[in-house]
Amino acid sequence: MHVQHQRPGTPYEMREEMDLNLEEFQLLSAMEFVDRIEYTFWKKANLDIQNINLNEGQKLKWFTESEAKNTTLAYGFNEIVDDFFKKPPFV
């Protein structure tokens, strides 16, 4: 989950884009880019993406580490996803 231009602790993108109200998430990273700071949060959850109503974006998809490395993600998110797999918060 990511939050654009918001202070840590106020993720709303999941609620806005997918009608999900997740609580008790943790800050994964605050990464500074040339044009913004991206706050990325994570939470362990068992989500069935087939049953999530996507309000924004193209589609939902789970990525393996290999698939993520071989996919060009928007807004510099490859760097954030690479960090997630290098320093997994769930181990």
pLDDT digits (tens, 9 = 90+) for 18-47: 888 888 888 888 889 899 888 888 888 898
- Identify the DSSP state of 33: -
Which alpha helices (H) appear in the chain, and where do they start and end?
Answer: 13-18, 65-69, 77-86
Residue 19 pLDDT: 82
Question: pLDDT > 90: what percent of the chain?
Answer: 21
CA 47 to chain centre: 14
Assess whether pLDDT exceeds 90 at residue 72: yes
pLDDT at 3: 47
